[in-house]
Structures are given as C-alpha cells and as structure tokens.
Amino acid sequence: MKKIIQKMSQGLEWIGGLMILLMTVVVLLQVIMRYIFNSPLTWTEEFARYLFVYITFLGAALLIYERGHLYVEIIFNNLPIRIRKILQLILDVIILGFSVFLAISAKASMDVAEGSFSTAMHIPMNYIGFSVLLGALLIILFSLWNIVQDVKCAFSRGGED
C-alpha cells in the first residue's frame, strides 16, 4: 500500500508540474496575442483559471500526504513528543472530516451545475466541479493513510518516529 500511495504522490507532482507549465504557456500565449498581435484569444483566461482550480485541489491533496500545510512550527516542535503525536492525530481526523464534507458538497455542486457550460470554452461546468471532488477524495485517502501511520507510530517504539 505504501508504494501505491508513493506512486500516487509522484504522479500528482508530475501532473501538477505539467499543469503549471501548461498554464504558464497559455498565459504567455494570451499576452503575446493581446499585446503583440492586438488580437486576444477568448478562451485562454478561462482555461488558465480552470487549470488553477485543478492545481489548487491536487496540490492540497499532495500537501496532506507530505504534511506540508502551514502550522506554527515553533510551538508545535517545542511540545513533548507524545503531545505532538496526539495533536497530529487530532489534526488528521479534523482534515478527514472536513474532506468528507468537501466531497459531499462538491458532488452536490456538480449535480446543481448539471447542464451548465463555461462561457468561453463551452465545456460542462461539472468538469470544474470534478476538480474539487477529486481533490477531496485524494485528501480523504491521504488523511486515512496519515491516520494509520499516526496510530502505528503511537503503538511502536514509544511513539517515536
């Protein structure tokens, strides 16, 4: 299971990197077309915005796996190890609960957006809502993984990493 989770994480890194590269190229293309050729493209801003939404939610999931989200390190790292482990477990459970709520809300939002299309590109708005659902499902998976790791760590070697 660990290898599968690691491969998923690496895949998210690659996908995120490619999306950032694609977004950069699209925005650069828009700048060139607008200011050099005085003929702006109608779809580039919308495309870049939707890419940004996907990057945000896939990146959030990746940060959950890597435990890279912001917290007050100076306080957290000065706590006794046992309290740190308990707090980490509590945080992971809170993240899991929020992600379940987010997934349910994203699915409901997709249902409401059924039949709606984007203005410039005319793509179904469900595709955009899917980014939130996908991100939430990945966060749920990675949160469950982190919780299992927290519990295993708590019961082995006195709670040390």
Written as six digits, the tokens of 64 are: 């959950």
Contact (CB, 8 A) for 140 and 92: no
Q: pTM for the whole thing?
A: 0.89
Nearest to 89 by CA among 153, 137, 136: 153
> What confidence score (pLDDT) does residue 118 get?
94
Count other C-beta atoms under 10 Å from residue 97's C-beta: 12
How far is the C-alpha of 25 from the C-alpha of 30, rounded, in Å? 9
pLDDT in tens, 19-28: 999 999 999 9
Domain extent, residue 117, equals: 2-159
Percent of the chain whose predicted confidence (pLDDT) is above 90:
78
pLDDT in tens, 60-97: 999 999 988 877 777 888 889 888 888 899 999 999 99
> What confidence score (pLDDT) does residue 45 get?
94
How far is the C-alpha of 101 from the C-alpha of 98, rounded, in Å? 5
**How buried is 107 (Cβ within 10 angstroms: 0-12 exposed, 13-18 middle, 19+ buried)?**
middle
Contact (CB, 8 A) for 62 and 16: yes
The list of the chain residues with pLDDT below 70 reads: 157-161
Which DSSP letter does residue 43 get?
A: S
When divided into structural domains, the chain yields a total of 1
